Amino acid sequence: MKTIFISGGNQGLGRALAEKFAGEHNVVILARNEDKGRQAAEEVGCDLVVADVSDYTQIQAAVDSVIQKYGAIDCLINNAGLWIQGALEDNDPEQVSAAMNVNATATILLTRACLPYMKKAQKGRIINVISQSGFYGKGERSVYTASKWAIAGFTKSLQMELTGTAVTVCGFYPGSMKTEFFANAGVEKDSSKFMELSEVVRAVEFIVDTPDHLSIPELGIKPAYY
């Protein structure tokens, strides 16, 4: 039984992953909103830690609490994300900062907090949920793409940094899924051809279940129509 720590685990892909792994593993979700996080944790049957992902002190305290209860974090899934689109000059500076903080900085800081424990345990798998936007640029989503390219670069560099250790890092690049991701940002999208969450969950499950001595540097999944 592994201990799996999932950021953004109260909705969307994060919640679907928590539902998949709960019961089979120790699952802890990290959420910013305590009420929504508590509801999700109760419905899924997993643990919850609450933290503002822009505050490293809170992040470290959240990680420490997981270690205190379970002794280790076997798999960290950096899943929290925030959508932003539109011409750059139309993007509100606060929205830009929020997107970069949630999509990039939070992933880096959460990884930083977990990494010493993984190194000490001589095992651990880090899965950074990036996006197909981490592969290419597209007009009117420059900020979102920048945040994803940041984590793509972070992932590749951290893989090199951890060479020779028992900690592996995977960049996971999913395409559009049938979640509330866009709706939460007030954006309407035709989701008829988007992937089902169950399809994406199976891909992540493959990474999680891969033997500890093997590494999957990156894995992408997307609808065949694009």
Q: How many CA atoms lie within 13 A of 77 on its CB side?
A: 29
121: pLDDT strictly greater than 50: yes
In 3D space, the residue among 132, 126, 117 whose CA is nearest the CA of residue 208 turns out to be: 126
Beta-bridge partner residues of 129: 172
Residue 190 confidence (pLDDT): 62
Strand locations in 151-201 (E):
167-174
Q: Which of 109-118, 121-130, 135-144 has the weakest average pLDDT? A: 135-144
CB atoms within 10 A of CB 162: 18
Q: pLDDT of 53-64, one tens digit each?
A: 889 999 999 999
- Average pLDDT of the chain is 91
CB atoms within 10 A of CB 46: 22
Confidence of residue 138 (pLDDT cuts 50, 70, 90): confident
Confidence of residue 183 (pLDDT cuts 50, 70, 90): low
Residue 127 confidence (pLDDT): 99
Residue 185 confidence (pLDDT): 46
99: pLDDT strictly greater than 70: yes
172: pLDDT strictly greater than 80: yes
Residue 188 confidence (pLDDT): 65
Per the structure block, which two tokens stand in for 49?
A: 């830690």
182: pLDDT strictly greater than 60: no
Say whether 117 is catalytic: no
Catalytic residue (choose from 117, 144, 173, 225): 144
Decide: residue 66, CB within 10 A, 0-12 exposed, 13-18 middle, 19+ buried.
buried
Domains of the chain, first to last:
3-221 (3.40.50.720)
DSSP collapsed to 3 states, 84-129: CCCCHHHCCHHHHHHHHHHHHHHHHHHHHHHHHHHHHHCCEEEEEE
Instruction: With 0.85 as the threshold, say if the pTM is over it.
Output: yes
Cα–Cα distances (Å) from 106 to 122, 147, 225, in that order, read: 24, 11, 32
